[in-house]
């Protein structure tokens, strides 16, 4: 049984920082985890993804254009923990943030359907 538990959400002022954490328990498969954000009334969208080297694949990360140079995603695959450091926060970053794991090999990193496991979400409000 796989469980993802996020923490670190809260209210923050414009220009401030927030650090989200997600710990996965159980076998999530590939060393690949991601963060998605869902604003009220909007679809869930990919924010960042990170993966560790595995087989012939080297490690790396992806970011949505809207968060590049502001957010940093990092992974400790040994204990299946992923973080999202959010800096220079803007009101439009306000969303419920979800951790995802269990990505299919060929699915896009930013597609909800590419992931099998999801956390319950943690709210970030920027004002």
Query: pLDDT per residue over 53-97, tens digit each?
Result: 776 667 899 999 999 999 999 999 888 899 999 999 999 999 999
pLDDT at position 55 is 66
Reduced to 3 states, what is the DSSP secondary structure of residue 91? helix
Nearest to 67 by CA among 6, 110, 105: 110
Name beta bridge partners: 50.
Answer: 33, 61
pLDDT at position 56 is 66
pLDDT digits (tens, 9 = 90+) for 16-34: 999 999 999 998 888 899 9
| Strand duo 95-103 + 115-118: pairing | antiparallel
């Amino acid at each position: 049984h796989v469980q993802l538990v996020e923490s670190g959400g809260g209210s923050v002022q414009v220009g401030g920082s927030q650090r989200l954490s997600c710990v996965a328990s159980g076998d999530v498969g590939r060393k690949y985890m991601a963060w998605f954000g869902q604003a009220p009334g909007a679809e869930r969208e990919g924010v960042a993804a990170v993966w560790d080297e595995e087989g012939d694949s080297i490690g790396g990360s992806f970011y949505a254009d809207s968060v590049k140079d502001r957010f940093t995603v990092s992974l400790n695959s040994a204990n299946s923990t992923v973080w999202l450091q959010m800096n220079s926060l803007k009101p439009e970053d306000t969303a419920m943030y979800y951790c995802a794991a269990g990505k299919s090999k060929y699915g896009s990193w930013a597609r909800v359907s590419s992931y099998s496991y999801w956390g319950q979400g943690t709210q970030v409000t920027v004002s």
